[in-house]
Chain A
Amino acid sequence: MNLNDIKKEFPIFDDKIQNNDLVYLDSANSSQKPKLVIDRINEFYTKQFSNVGRSVHYLAVAATNLYENTRTSVQKYINAKDKNEIVFTKGATEALNLVANTLGQKYLNEGDEIILTELEHHSNYVPWHYLRKSKNIKINFAEINDDGEIPIENIEKLITPKTKVIAINHLSNVTGAILPIKEITQLAHSKEIMVVVDGCQGAPHLKLDMQDLDCDFYAISCHKMYGPTGLGILYGKKKWLEELPPYQGGGGMIKEVKKDRITYGDLPNKYEAGTMATAQVIAFDQSIKFLESIGIDNVIKHEKELIEYGQEILRKNNSVKLIGSPKNKGGVLSFTIKGVHPHDIATILDEDGVAIRAGHHCCQILHDKLGISASARASIGIYNTKEDFDQLNESINKCKKIFEIK
């Protein structure tokens, strides 16, 4: 597949958005969808729809097979050891809540400590905060360095005999820093600490190998990965998923229900209560196929070139200040312009069809640390081009002109 033509695979780019060609630089928020993913949802509802895992009629069995096919595709894509280590959730947020909640029920005790980082998205902080409230768990934050990275030493020095969990992101949605998960996991496991990874930004852009990373849990957001909304994936090591209690109760997750006792289903059903996002799961198989057809090495190469180009352009632009300069960086460029509030930047850029995000990007801890209330963020996907960054720069210059900034 020629990466220069890849925009053609995404119908959103076919039409003008408010009379402009769309320059979509908000993929860290959510990615656009390839045509085959969109078509798959339509096809499933049109020709194949049934609920899964329950009825014995033809459509139900066929739909169940399709649903399970995606589980197998995901297992292979992320190189998990076992298909049952893949749990579908309603999003990465639910995946992280599931982990924090069930660990809180069975594994964590009063006084235990958890290490997070200052880069964490609220969805990898708030669920742990609940445990601080309900179980008196202590949370420590590993600090960023001047480049917006988390050096492993900053995690290591927080470890105490009471540390039970290290919960960290794979790729920062603000500074773009890629965390050394494998090294962190080795360190953690040597001290019998488990590692939970928020892989929302890592999964769409990096090579995933669960057996190599060796983390205990890894949360994925499918809508950031060229897939449908309403779907997330929790990878969890089998021993944990078997040992921990269920998260939600309902149909599909039980083995036997009596008036005086209930036994729970085997993996992965134990964690998939109620009717799941069936069409989304089935369509997500196409997202995986799409990524496989490009090849993750090509994705990484393309995005690295792009982000280096974007970084260079913005660095040359006076009065644009980039947030963080990690050596190992993914496709996120956050910045501020002295004298222009990020929301004003975003509104002015929007007039040219340049879609970016402005705000704290669900990372208030990080923005507090940086001493700013908000930032502007351009983030890329596989469909972006150098021309997109040229347009971004041009629109930033227009913004500076309006605000009379040199």
Chain B
Amino acid sequence: MNLKELYQEIILEHGKNPRNLRKTENFNKDAKGNNPLCGDNVHVYLKLNDQRKVEDISFEGSGCAISMASASIMTDLIKGKSDNEAKEIIEDFLGMIKENPELKNKILKEDDKTKLMCLSGVKQYPMRVKCATLSWHTLVSAMENHGKQISTED
């Protein structure tokens, strides 16, 4: 894996123009996350409707290209999914970043999986893994509704 594969066009593009970088109106779940090592922070907002479907998801915050792209792609892919589907995708993504070579879920379409796999380049940069996973851990916290602030150093 070389640098070109980490800073791919899709990551640079999402990093520069993050999707859903705003605050969901009438959100009913949210959580904050921060990475004290670099000072980056993210706030994830979620609106789950009565059918337990993610009606809207958004985030606020600042960070490096990897963390912004990861949050951007995450919100794009989670929107419209049921909470169970969302949890499966999150678990699959975190498993892939941690150790699995591929994504296993059958929920996402192939081209959506490709977007997520672009982030697999961080595996070669252990110090940067946290950049890619912060928003995802924060989403877990929001969904579980324990309101606990996520820190990469806990």
Contacts and interface: CB of A to CB of B under 8 A. Distances in A.
A403 B15 CA distance: 10
B39 A347 contact: no
Interface stretch (A65-73, A231-239, A323-331, A357-365): A357-365
Interface string A301-342: 000000000000000000000000000000000000001111
B65 A341 contact: yes
Nearest to A399: B7
Contacts, number: 47
Q: Size class of B's contact patch?
A: 10 to 19
A359 B39 contact: yes
A341 B67 CA distance: 10
Given A343-B128, A344-B64, A351 B38 contact: no
A351 B40 contact: no
Contacts of A373: 38-41, 62
A360 B41 CA distance: 13
Interface in A354-379: 358-360, 364, 367, 373-374
Interface in B36-71: 37-41, 62-66
A65 B38 CA distance: 44
Contact of B37 (A359, A367, A402, A404): A359
Contacts of A194: none
B3 A351 contact: yes
A358 B64 CA distance: 11
Contacts of A340: 65
Given A347-B125, A402-B12, A358 B7 contact: no
A258 to B, nearest CB: 45
3 A-B pairs with least C-beta separation:
A341-B64, A373-B39, A343-B64
Interface of B: 2-3, 6-7, 12, 16, 37-41, 62-66, 125, 128, 131
